[in-house]
Amino acid sequence: MPQHVRGVVARSKGAPVTIETVTVPDPGPGEAVVAVRACGVCHTDLHYREGAVNDDFPFLLGHEAAGVVEEVGPGVTGVAPGDFVVLNWRAVCGQCRSCRRGRPQYCFATHNATQKMALADGTPLTPALGIGAFADKTLVAAGQCTKVDASARPEAVGLLGCGVMAGLGAALFTGEVGPGDTVAVFGCGGVGCAAIAGARLAGAGRVIGVDLDPRKLALAADFGATDTVLASDGDPVEAVRALTGGFGADVCIEAVGDAEVMRQAFYARDLAGTLVQVGVPTPEMRIDLPMIDFFGRGGRLRPSWYGDCLPSRDFPVLVDLYRQGRLDLDGFVSETVSLDDVEEAFGRMVRGEVLRSVVVL
């Protein structure tokens, strides 16, 4: 029997979100219905509401979530009812040209549920990032559910589903930070602070947080930055060089999504250093660099989608590190709110007052 639940919907471009009755179908082959326990509020949800992702309104928002599998469809063997899971937007297909070459973390044909959730009048909904978890229950592809330790706090581990994983992975997997490396993270929001935590986990020596907002620099220090740079206090490139013996950092991570910051991160690298781009640019952003600077400095320029993570490999390990007290996921949860508070939470996010507001169901 299809179920009727409450969900947060963006009906049209720029309009405030509304709470609607959402019809969740029974899971079909390869699908699962998940009872959502917690879901973080991410910039991407706001981008959907503003029409900046695509025009497939109405959207069912929410995608950084943890919950309990309620029912699975025919043929599902990876998860079972009762499993505590973190939802992901990289359910790998195993068959595309990237998966076949042993690089599932770049899968070019990831799975989502095939059936549609809908409004009460039958209008099909587009779930944000194929998840749609600002709802009591959601329908996903079973591969989007990664089973993790059931004793973990849903508000904290659900954040691994998007921004926190993107930041951790930008340092651990894309940047390949290693013991003793110097790392500079530009932008210390949720993603940047996670990159700082990832650099610390990887054994980095000096970890420098750069931001325009002193509140974010205080959080960067909480997550393990050894030094912080207020970007408005002069040239951040010079500041990073001064903190690294005049050379620059081995790994610079751009976690803002800004052309000028990208340029700074490029020049704040040491010779043969790595630039990781995890901030998402808009289509009109441009950078203009002398080719000789690119060639002459050597190193690597690496965009990072979802931190190059593989949820089945990484989520359980990161949840274990969290439970052992070695990864502070609780620190990303600035506040817990209800489904009715998502619009207000967008405001706090835009004003820089929170790392993450988390909806608890």
Ligand X SMILES: NC(=O)c1ccc[n+]([C@@H]2O[C@H](COP(=O)([O-])OP(=O)(O)OC[C@H]3O[C@@H](n4cnc5c(N)ncnc54)[C@H](O)[C@@H]3O)[C@@H](O)[C@H]2O)c1
**What residues make contact with Zn ion under the rule CB under 5 A?**
42, 44, 93, 96, 99, 107, 109, 162-163
Q: Does 221 bind ligand X (CB under 6 A)?
A: no
Q: Which of 142, 160, 168, 188 touches ligand X by CB under 6 A? A: 188
Strand 207-211 with 137-141, pairing = unpaired
Q: Does 226 bind ligand X (CB under 6 A)?
A: no
Task: Considering the complex, state which of residue 42 and residue 160 has its C-beta at the smaller distance from Zn ion.
Answer: 42
Q: Does 304 bind ligand X (CB under 6 A)?
A: yes
Q: Does 255 bind ligand X (CB under 6 A)?
A: yes
Q: What share of the chain is helix, strand, coil (3-state, %, to 5)?
A: 30, 25, 40
Task: Write the DSSP string, 306-344.
Answer: GGG--HHHHHHHHHHHHHTTSS--GGGEEEEE-GGGHHH
Q: Which does 213 bind (CB under 5 to 8 A by kind): Zn ion, ligand X, none?
A: ligand X
Residues pairing with 210 in the sheet: 186, 229
Pairwise CA distance, residues 17 & 321, whole Å: 36
Strand 269-277 with 249-254, pairing = parallel
Q: Does 256 bind ligand X (CB under 6 A)?
A: yes
Q: Does 70 bind ligand X (CB under 6 A)?
A: no
> Tokens representing 212?
């325009």
Q: Does 280 bind ligand X (CB under 6 A)?
A: yes
> Please, is 58 exposed, middle or buried when counting C-beta atoms within 10 Å of its C-beta (0-12, 13-18, 19+)?
buried
Residues 21-50 that bind ligand X (CB under 6 A): 43
Pairwise CA distance, residues 345 & 357, whole Å: 6
CB of 42 to ligand X, least distance (A): 6
| Alpha carbon distances (Å) from 52 to 43, 205, 223 | 11, 38, 31
User: 3-class secondary structure for 12-57?
Assistant: CCCCCCEEEEEEECCCCCCEEEEEEEEEECCHHHHHHHCCCCCCCC
Q: Which of 202, 231, 359, 361 touches ligand X by CB under 6 A? A: 231
Task: Considering the complex, state which of residue 27 and residue 163 has its C-beta at the smaller distance from ligand X.
Answer: 163
Q: Which residues contact 260 (CB under 8 A, 6 or more apart)?
A: none
Task: Considering the complex, state which of residue 32 and residue 42 has its C-beta at the smaller distance from ligand X.
Answer: 42
Q: Does 163 bind ligand X (CB under 6 A)?
A: yes
Task: Considering the complex, state which of residue 182 and residue 264 has its C-beta at the smaller distance from ligand X.
Answer: 264
Pairwise CA distance, residues 87 & 144, whole Å: 5
Residue nearest to ligand X (CB): 189
Q: Does 331 bind ligand X (CB under 6 A)?
A: no
Q: Which does 216 bind (CB under 5 to 8 A by kind): Zn ion, ligand X, none?
A: ligand X
Question: Near ligand X by CB under 6 A, which window of 4-12, 95-103, 117-125, 299-307?
Answer: 299-307
Task: Considering the complex, state which of residue 195 and residue 208 has its C-beta at the smaller distance from Zn ion.
Answer: 195
CB of 237 to ligand X, least distance (A): 11
Q: Which does 5 bind (CB under 5 to 8 A by kind): Zn ion, ligand X, none?
A: none
Q: Does 240 bind ligand X (CB under 6 A)?
A: no
Look at residue 5 and give its three-state secondary structure.
Answer: strand
Question: Site residues (CB under 6 A) for ligand X?
Answer: 43, 162-163, 166, 186-192, 210-213, 216, 231, 255-258, 261, 278-280, 304-306, 352
